[in-house]
Structure 1
Amino acid sequence: MARARRPLERPPVAIDVAPAYEMLMSLVTALDAGDADTYEVGTDWIAEIRSRAGNDLLARLESASLGDPDSFIHLIPLAYDTPAPRDVAAFLAHLRKTDADEIRLHLVQYYARETRRMTPPSVIQAAIHGGADAQQEFLRTSYADWEPWTQYLRSVFAADGEALKAEIIGALEEWNERVWAPESLTILPILERDAEARREALRELPMEEFIQAATNGVEFVPRPGIERVVMVPSFVNRPLVSFTEFGEVLLIIYPVGDESVSAFTDSPPLRLVRLSKALADEKRLRILRALSDGEKTLMELAETFGVAKTTMHHHMIILRSAGLVSVGVGSKRYRLRTETVPDVGALLSGYLCCAPAVSAAETRPSAPSKARAGG
C-alpha cells in the first residue's frame, strides 16, 4: 500500500517595502496606456506623470522596455536582490554591477519555474548568449502560440546586452529624477502604513487566508519549489495583482488596502465603489451567474460570452478587485466567492445608515498629487 504524500509545508511569508519596487511599478502604470482606466490611481494622475516625463523620456522608456511595460515587473527580482537599503540609488548601483546577459535572463523570466519547466535552463542561457538554434528552441517551447511573448523574446535576443543595460539604467535614472522622487514622498508612507497593518494581520491569520485577503481574491496553495513568499504592497498598481519569481521566492505585488490610502469618512468605501462598478454591467452579472455553476477558465468564459480573451480578462479584473471572484496563483480558473456576496447589501446599508454628515468645506483625501481623484 502506497504511503500518503505528506502535505507541503507552508512557506514563510514576509511583507516587504522598498522604494525600488514601487518605482518599477510606476513605470508599468505609466506605460500601460491601453489599460489606463483600469488603474485606481486615475487617468488624470497617469496623464500628469506622463506629461512631467515628457515625450523624449517616454520614448526612451518604451525602447528600454522593448515595447512591453511588463519588462519592469521582470526586473522586480533584481530589486529584491539589491543589498540594503534597497532604495532607488542602491537598486541602480546593483544594476550597474549586474552582468548585461544576467539582466536579459531576468527579462525572459529565466528564474520563473514555469519558464524553466517548458524550456531547459541550458537552452535559455544559450539563447541569451546568441545561439541561433537555442533561440529557435526557446521560441518553440515557450508559449509559441502567444505572439506578443514570442515577439518580445525576439526583441530580447536581438538587443545588444550592454547597450540595453545602459539604456535601462539611463532611463530609470531620469524617470526617478523627473517623476518618481517627488511622487515617492506621498506614496511611500502609504506603503509603510499598509505593510504595518498587514504584518499585524499576518500574525493572526493562516497564510492562505491572509494572501487571499491582501490580494482580494487570489488563492495560494503551497507548491513544490516555492520556499518563501514575499508580499510587496503597491499603490500605483491598484487594483491589479502581479506575480514574479526569483528561484524559490514568489513575489506577489498586491494593492494596498483602502484604509491605508485614506481615512476620509464621508466618501463611500472603495470596496463599495468597486462592487457598484462590477455589478453595473449586465455581462458581468451574467458571468457571475455562470460561475455559480462552478469554476471556469478564462477561455471557457470568453467562448461562452463570445468575447476576446483580453475583454474577458478585463471583466475578471473588475470582478476580482470587487472581491466577487477568486483565481489561483498561476491559474486561469475562476470561481465565485459565494462567501462575499452578502457583503454587497451590508456595505451599502452601512454607508447609507452610518455615514456622518460632513461639510463640503472639508478636505479631500490625500493623494499623490492634486489631480488624483482616482486613487
Structure 2
Amino acid sequence: MDMLDFGSPRQTYDIRVEYSLLYECALGIGAFTWDEVHDKLDIGQAQVLQIKRQMSEALRREVSLAGLHHTWRSVLFLIHRCPYLPSTTQEKHLPVFMDWLKEIKDSIRTEAAPYLGASYQAPLAAALAGNALDMQKLLDEHHENPVIYQNLQYLFAVSAEQLLDHIKRLVEGWYEEVVSRDRNVVATLEQSAAQTSALSQNVSHEKLIHTVTRGGEFVAEPGVTTLWLIPQVSYRPFTIRNHLPGYAVYYYPVDPDAQTGLDKNRLISNIAAKHKAVGDVLRVRLLELLAASSRSLAELAQAIGASKPSTHHHLLLLRTAGLVHVDGGVYGLNVDEVLALGEELCRLLKLDGVKAAQETSQGR
C-alpha cells in the first residue's frame, strides 16, 4: 500500500527553571560520596578533603550511610515532590522542607523512592508496602545498576521513622556545615536561573539543552512534557539527569565565567575568615602545639592553661577556618591550609607583580 505522510506536529515542551540550596545539599553529598569523580570536579580534591576534615562526627555517619545506600537520590526526589518550595523564599526552603517531611512521615518511603518508569509504579508501591515477591523482582531487574539497587534495598528494609531521622540529620547537617558557608552560592544560582529563563524564551529546546549543559543533546522520551532545569555548583562541570513522571530533569552546571566576581568575593571572605581565626594569641599557640604533634582536647587545654570549654571554642574556630581537623577526639594541623594563608593573600593583592615593578623601578 502506498502511504502519504503529511508529517506530525513538532512536540513542544514546557520549561521549568528553579534553584535551591536543598538541591546543592543532595548533589553535594552525591559528589562527595563518589570518590572516583573527585579529581574531575571543579571544586577539586583539596576542597573535598577540607570538607571531610571539618565535618562533624554526627554528619560523617549520615554521609557514610548516604554513600552506601545512595539516599542523596532519595533527598532529590523528596525535594522535587515537596509542594511548598516553589512558592517559598530561599531562606525558608530548609525549615519548610523539614516541616513537610514531618507531614509525610508515614509515607516518606514512597515519596523518597526513585521513579523507575510507569510500568514499575504498581510493583514498587507493593514492594514498599511489604510484598516480598515484588521486592525481589525489582531488585533482580535492577541488580546491574548499583545506585538504584542499593537504594531500593535500603528503602525496602528501613522503617519510615528511621528514614525520616536519617534524611533530616543528613540535610540539616550538610546545609549547616557545608552549603551555608558559601555566602555567594545563592547569588550564583539565582543569576544562572535568570539567564536560563531568558534564554528559553528565544531558542529551541534542543538549543537550550545544548547551551546549559555545554554540549549535551536532548533526547525526546515518551511521556515527557516538561524540561525541568536546575542550576548547580556542587557537581560542576557535570550535568546530572534525572527522571520524574512527565519530566526530564537536568541539574546543569552554572557558567564559571558568570562567577568571576563572586569567586573573588569568596576568596576575600575565606582569607578574612582564616586570618580572623589566627587573630588570637591562644589560637596561635594551639597551632604551634599541633604543628609539633597531634593532641587531644585535654592535652591542648593543659598546655595553654585554659579550660576545656574555652579550648574547644578556640579549636572550633580553627576548624571552621579549615586550619585544624579532628579525628577520633585527636586534633591535628591542616598543614596545606596553614601554608596557603600567606599565598592566598599575596595572590589576591598581586604582590608578585608589585614586587617586580618595585625592583624594576629601583634598577635591580
Q: How does 1:265-344 map to 2 (within 5 A)?
A: none
Q: Which residue of 2 aligns with 1:256?
A: 254
Q: Which residue of 2 aligns with 1:23?
A: 25
Change beyond 3 A, Cα 1:362–1:230: farther
Is the 1:65–1:72 Cα contact (8 Å) retained in structure 2? no
Partners of 2:193 and 2:147 lie apart in 1 by 34
Q: Which of structures 1 and 2 has the bigger CA Rg?
A: 2
Partners of 1:16 and 1:147 lie apart in 2 by 29
2:154 partner amino acid:
S
Q: Which residue of 1 aligns with 2:99?
A: 93
Could you state the TM-score of these two structures normalised by the residue count of structure 2? Answer: 0.64
Is the 1:96–1:169 Cα contact (8 Å) retained in structure 2? no
Could you state the TM-score of these two structures normalised by the residue count of structure 1? Answer: 0.62
Q: Which residue of 1 aligns with 2:275?
A: none
Partners of 1:38 and 1:263 lie apart in 2 by 23
In the TM superposition, residue 168 of structure 1 has moved relative to its aligned partner by 1.0
SS at match of 2:185: helix
In the TM superposition, residue 96 of structure 1 has moved relative to its aligned partner by 2.0
Q: Which residue of 2 aligns with 1:180?
A: 179
Partners of 2:166 and 2:262 lie apart in 1 by 42
Identity of aligned residues (%): 21
Change beyond 3 A, Cα 1:210–1:44: same
SS at match of 1:243: strand
Partners of 1:244 and 1:6 lie apart in 2 by 28
SS at match of 1:188: helix
Partners of 1:130 and 1:2 lie apart in 2 by 52
Q: Which residue of 2 aligns with 1:127?
A: 127
Q: Which residue of 1 aligns with 2:85?
A: 82
1:116 partner amino acid:
G
CA deviations on 1:292-322 (whole Å, 9 max, x unpaired) are xxxxxxxxxxxxxxxxxxxxxxxxxxxxxxx
Which structure features the higher share of helix residues? 2
In the TM superposition, residue 360 of structure 1 has moved relative to its aligned partner by 7.8
CA deviations on 1:103-132 (whole Å, 9 max, x unpaired) are 32344413xxxx235x53211101011111
In the TM superposition, residue 264 of structure 1 has moved relative to its aligned partner by 9.6
Partners of 1:237 and 1:18 lie apart in 2 by 14
* From 189, 201, 204, the counterpart of 1:203: 201
Is the 1:233–1:256 Cα contact (8 Å) retained in structure 2? yes
In the TM superposition, residue 81 of structure 1 has moved relative to its aligned partner by 6.0
Structure 1 stretches of 5 or more lacking a match?
266-358, 364-375
Is the 1:8–1:223 Cα contact (8 Å) retained in structure 2? no
Count of residues paired in the alignment? 262
Partners of 1:5 and 1:127 lie apart in 2 by 43
2:126 partner amino acid:
A
SS at match of 1:254: strand
* From 236, 239, 242, the counterpart of 1:238: 236
The reply to whether residue 153 of structure 1 matches residue 158 of structure 2 is: no
The root-mean-square deviation of aligned C-alpha atoms, in Å, is 2.8
In the TM superposition, residue 26 of structure 1 has moved relative to its aligned partner by 2.1
In the TM superposition, residue 83 of structure 1 has moved relative to its aligned partner by 5.0
Q: Which moved more, 1:220-229 or 1:72-81?
A: 72-81
CA deviations on 1:232-252 (whole Å, 9 max, x unpaired) are 001111011112233212221
Is the 1:13–1:229 Cα contact (8 Å) retained in structure 2? yes
